[in-house]
Amino acid sequence: MKKYTQISDISNLSETIKEAILLKMNPYEHQHLGKNKTLVMLFFNSSLRTRLSTEKAAKNLGMDVMSLNVNDAWNLEFEDGTVMDASTSEHVKEAAKVISQYADIIAVRAFPSLKDREKDATEMVIKSFEKYATVPIVNMESATAHPLQALADAITISELSEKSRPKVVMSWAPHPRALPQAVPNSFVEMMQKMDVDLTITHPEGYELNPEITKDTPINYNQDEALKDADFVYAKNWSSYTDYGNVISRDRTWMITKEKLGHAKFMHCLPVRRNVIVEDAVLDSDQSIVMQEANNRTYAAQIVMKGILENL
């Protein structure tokens, strides 16, 4: 593996999932790979799980880790040819090359603006690091994708599914803020590669990028969509068509025990209790959000193992 910025960087998904599950049994087995190697993590946005699980994964592999909240360093310029006489102090051309001298792998988190859809779609931040860094890049959530989360979700469903082709329903849920489409995009992309019966449910106006959803069924009736689900993956996202806007705050879309039926509840976290999902669900043994969060370490570890093996 040369990098992990998108799900398609995984050449054999079922093998990767199997290897990640095996890794959990012996997480320190490959420490020789990371000895005298450094992971640098760059955060343009907040994180708990990604920051800690990716650091844990790197240390499981014997790596050293450095983490930088980029906004505490210099305000970076990403546009080519800019006369930098305003608020940006350093161009990503220099920053990426400088960091590459300190790192063997660079991991980046940079959320979208949610203001300019076309510009967000260019994935300027992570693509700039891919272009100018001289070491492999890992995506810790970019403007349109969260491939580490999706891999952890795939591992979790593979481990906990009680049938060969489970029904997986990704359901929109309300949120007070405008959130990215990265997590739902990557979850849909990942589920399309797995042997699951995937349905997406959301209010009208919340259609994701059709280049991602493709022919995955979309049901605007949540109750109908949730019927006989085995896994319910709840997530809020802002409108893609009315880009970056909150066009519904309909609290009836909150996931309840009643709506969940016998299904297992999934969410990437952080989750707004009693907005996205009621306490009774999160506090029940139908919730597998802790297993998902634990699998973030092994998703990151199997990815970085593959990268280290190719250095």
Ligand X SMILES: NC(=O)OP(=O)(O)O
Q: Tokens representing 232?
A: 């319910």
- Please report whether residue 185 would count as binding ligand X according to CB under 6 A: no
Among 9, 20, 44, 47, the residue binding ligand X under the rule CB under 6 A is 47
Quick check: 93 and 125 in contact, CB under 8 A?
Answer: no
**Which CB sits closer to ligand SN0, 217 or 270?**
270
Q: Minimum CB separation from ligand SN0 for residue 76, in Å?
A: 21
Among 268, 277, 281, 282, the residue binding ligand SN0 under the rule CB under 6 A is 268
Q: Minimum CB separation from ligand SN0 for residue 275, in Å?
A: 9
**Which CB sits closer to ligand SN0, 110 or 268?**
268
- Please report whether residue 182 would count as binding ligand SN0 according to CB under 6 A: yes
DSSP-derived secondary structure for the chain: ---BSSGGG-S-HHHHHHHHHHHHHSTTTTHHHHTT-EEEEEESS--SHHHHHHHHHHHHTT-EEEEEEGGGS--EE-STT----SS--EEHHHHHHHHHHH-SEEEEE----SS-HHHHHTTHHHHHHHHH-SS-EEESS-SS--HHHHHHHHHHHHHH-SSSS-EEEEEE---SS---SHHHHHHHHHHHTSSSEEEEE--TT----HHHHTT--EES-HHHHHTT-SEEEEE----TTTTT------GGGSB-HHHHTTPEEE--S---BTTTB-HHHHTSTTB-HHHHHHHHHHHHHHHHHHHHTT-
Is 76 annotated among the ligand-binding residues? no
The partner in contact with residue 48, picked from ligand X, ligand SN0, none with C-beta cut-offs of 5 to 8 angstroms by kind, is ligand X
**Which CB sits closer to ligand SN0, 95 or 281?**
281
Is 30 annotated among the ligand-binding residues? no
Is 49 annotated among the ligand-binding residues? yes
- Please report whether residue 263 would count as binding ligand SN0 according to CB under 6 A: no
Q: Looking up tokens 């991991």, which residue turns up?
A: 107
**Which CB sits closer to ligand SN0, 174 or 203?**
174
Q: How many CB atoms lie within 10 A of CB 33?
A: 17
- Please report whether residue 142 would count as binding ligand X according to CB under 6 A: no
- Please report whether residue 149 would count as binding ligand X according to CB under 6 A: yes
How many residues lie near ligand X (CB under 6 A)?
A: 10
Give the largest CA-CA distance in the chain: 60
Among 5, 16, 50, 144, the residue binding ligand X under the rule CB under 6 A is 50
- Please report whether residue 179 would count as binding ligand SN0 according to CB under 6 A: yes
Among 33, 269, 275, 280, the residue binding ligand X under the rule CB under 6 A is 269
Quick check: 197 and 167 in contact, CB under 8 A?
Answer: yes
Q: Minimum CB separation from ligand SN0 for residue 130, in Å?
A: 20
- Please report whether residue 290 would count as binding ligand X according to CB under 6 A: no
Question: Torsion over CA of 120, 176, 254 and 271, rounded to 10 degrees?
Answer: 70
The partner in contact with residue 180, picked from ligand SN0, ligand X, none with C-beta cut-offs of 5 to 8 angstroms by kind, is ligand SN0
Binding site for ligand X (CB under 6 A): 47-51, 141, 149, 268-270
**Annotated binding site for N(2)-succinyl-L-ornithine: which residue ranges?**
141, 175, 235, 272
Name the site residues for ligand SN0 (rule: CB under 6 A): 177, 179-180, 182-183, 268, 270, 272
Mark the binding-site residues, compressed into ranges.
47-50, 74, 109, 141, 146-149, 175, 235, 268-269, 272, 296
